[in-house]
Amino acid sequence: MLNLRKTWFWFMGIGFGCIAASPVLAQGGWGDNEYFDVSTSGFIRIESALSTSSKRNPYNQIGNPFNGVAVDRLDLFGGSDTYVRQGPQQDEDFNLSVLRGKFDVNVSLNRNWSFRGELRALFDVDLYKNFHLNDIPGANPLGRLDRKPNLFEYRVNGGSLMSRKNPGALEVSGKRFMMDLPRFYLDYHKGPLHVRMGNQQIAWGQSLFFRVMDVPNGLDLRRHSLLDYVPEEFSDKRVPSLAVRVQYMAGSWELDGFVQHFRPTIYGNPNTPYNVIASQFTVHDLYKDYDDKFNFGMRARGDIGPIKFQAMAARRYNPDGTFRWTQSGVHKPLGPGFEGTEGLMAATAYEQDTTGVHSAREWFTFAGLARLDGVNGLNASIAEFPAAQALGAVLAPDYTFAAQELDLFFRLSGGLRGHIAREYHRESLFGVGFGYVFNGAPGSLFDQLIANVEIQYAKDRHFTNPSLSQYRIVEDEAIVSVVLEKYQRFTPAFPATYFVLQWMHRTESDIFGRHLSGMGGSVDRAARDASTPGSANYIAFALQQPFPNLVWRLDLGMLYDLEGGILIQPALRWRPGNNWAVEAFYNFIDGGVRDRNPNYNALSTTEWADEFTLRIGYEF
């Protein structure tokens, strides 16, 4: 197995060696007085996101909607009680409050070679009221991430649960800080050839919200999830990776290929502001089994008459991964009075703990929120784990039986945590794109209107089964997007307004990659009993309006899920001069635009996150 951790030191040595040696190289060797140059830039910025909603992140212990709520429980044998979940109830004013810095260095070594390094650093000032384990009586879950919030130190399985630190390349992180080198590479240019070697992000797409051709990198969602400034697209989200990228210009055609060390999408940790995996789960991330895997792909683009054409093919591990039930490995009894069941419980997908689920209503509510199936999920955790059957669990034929069986085990145990494993799977991707510029009457809406169509076809894509079964859903998927964009000047007093209108169609999953068969579950209905949509469709719209002096700029971004969810982000950008920059934007999310269960649409996942964000930075 290739130990890619050693490459950390190798690339560090290359980069800093170039910088340190630059004065000498300037006098000879690689250096060339005509071409040698060093330039630096960067910024320091304060970023704060103020919550404007009374809702809290339901996937965290402090935002669990069942905290302090009396719930009636009725089990299979007619036993009943009323239970109040003992969890913290805290109001959060700030979802985000960080000090961010970035420093860039660009070194031109000679006419062919150059180096770029970018240091990114973040420190959280900890205004978010952290969850404390002693807020829940009797809590003692396995795994460090489920005991105390950890904002940046993403962990994967190693010798023991959650023992290995983040899978990011060239990164050092802790509970409240992270530093990494998202760009740290050597460039070689000679004629039509361009080779880039090192830690890098590969951006094959430039759409707002949508990723069709943009397939090389996963996303890092630890900092501000997907709720950042829309015009920045995914520039701060793509997970950097050690790679070699080769580009070659053959006439009017560009050939582009890469070989890249596989890195996964990084989700927020439990009980952090933008966590999206319910904190009643313990996640066993099995990335360690994929640390020696590589992705590769190629793209060609050029002009065929008036048509701009591109085609791509890639063979990659899907960075989003899939989730399934896994043995907890936790030797705790089922509950008080059940001593001697420790071994059986360790061989089930559950761990007895008060940070887990306590009622069937909570179980089905969170199944709906996660786009999972509450009945089939229970059955998979029984059928695929003989130890669960040995403890008396039986398959549930319907919702009512499942709810009563769940309440029975929750009453006996005092709370159960689910354990799930995250795995990654190979897939083949193919894509084509077409672009055309319309010529209409000068000044009309159709003059210089740019239209782009992008189509992605994924062969044998693996999806998380809504039951969390080890038998994943494997299907081919087609994703299509249509993009219209143009600059339109309405008055000589103002610069041109930029507009973009986009539509996306997905045949198997929502915009977050969740299979559509898990849509529509709720507190009183499993997803299998819902009329799940046959496809997912989204419309995005954005505009930018600079003011005459270019000191101010107005932005608007919108994403609409045709199943009934909407995100609207108005923004204002101010550059007063003297290297200062201020950006303010507001995220408004409504998952109930249509009169139906909000779990049918993707955007209700983050409906709680209405917030005002202010960023004040100094550039140098």
**What pLDDT, in 10s, does the model give residues 579-607?**
999 999 999 999 999 988 999 999 999 99
* Residues 60/270, Cβ–Cβ less than 8 Å: yes
Residue 412 lies in a domain: no
* Residue 177 reports pLDDT greater than 80: yes
Beta-strand relationship, 416-423 and 294-304: unpaired
Residue 394 lies in a domain: no
User: What's at 39, amino acid-wise?
Assistant: S
pLDDT average, residue stretch 13-30: 45
Each as own residue / partner, the long-range contacts of residues 293-296 (CB below 8 Å, 24 or more positions apart, any chain) are 293/261, 293/262, 293/317, 293/424, 294/259, 294/260, 294/261, 294/262, 295/216, 295/258, 295/259, 295/260, 295/261, 295/262, 296/257, 296/258, 296/259, 296/260
Residue 429 lies in a domain: yes
Stated as kind and residue range, the H or E segment containing 405 is helix 399-413
- pLDDT at 93 (0 to 100): 86
Whichever domain contains 84, its CATH number is: 2.40.160.10
- pLDDT at 169 (0 to 100): 78
- pLDDT at 4 (0 to 100): 46
Q: How many domains does the chain have?
A: 1
Stated as kind and residue range, the H or E segment containing 209 is none
For residue 365, what is the DSSP state?
Answer: H
pLDDT average, residue stretch 392-413: 97
Q: Strands (DSSP E) along 305-425, which ranges?
A: 307-317, 322-325, 350-357, 416-423
How is the chain split among helix, strand and coil, in percent rounded to 5? 15, 40, 40
Give the model's confidence band at 512: pLDDT under 50 very low, under 70 low, under 90 confident, else very high. Answer: very high
Give the model's confidence band at 10: pLDDT under 50 very low, under 70 low, under 90 confident, else very high. Answer: very low
Residue 252 lies in a domain: yes
The CA distance from 303 to 374, in Å, is 51
pLDDT average, residue stretch 334-359: 97
pLDDT average, residue stretch 475-504: 96
- pLDDT at 91 (0 to 100): 74
pLDDT average, residue stretch 383-412: 98
Question: Which residue has tokens 């209905």?
Answer: 525
Report residue 88 as tokens: 């913290």
Model pLDDT for residues 436-460, shown as the tens digit of each residue: 999 988 888 889 999 999 999 999 9
* Residue 7 reports pLDDT greater than 50: no
Question: How many residues are present in the chain?
Answer: 620
Residue 482 lies in a domain: yes
Residue 411 lies in a domain: no
pLDDT average, residue stretch 527-548: 95
Residue 360 lies in a domain: no
* Residues 424/264, Cβ–Cβ less than 8 Å: yes
pLDDT average, residue stretch 182-211: 94
Give the model's confidence band at 33: pLDDT under 50 very low, under 70 low, under 90 confident, else very high. Answer: low
3 state DSSP class of 20: helix
For residue 238, what is the DSSP state?
Answer: B
Domain extent, residue 429, equals 6-325+422-619
- pLDDT at 32 (0 to 100): 58
* Residues 462/491, Cβ–Cβ less than 8 Å: no
Residue 327 half-sphere exposure toward CB, CA atoms < 13 A? 12
Give the model's confidence band at 164: pLDDT under 50 very low, under 70 low, under 90 confident, else very high. Answer: low
Q: In sequence order, what DSSP letters do the residues of 473-502 get, joined into one string?
A: EEEEEEEEEEEEEEEE---TTSPPEEEEEE
Average pLDDT over all residues of the chain = 91
- pLDDT at 6 (0 to 100): 43
* Residue 74 reports pLDDT greater than 70: yes
- pLDDT at 35 (0 to 100): 82
Least confident of 54-58, 480-484, 504-508: 54-58
Residue 336 lies in a domain: no
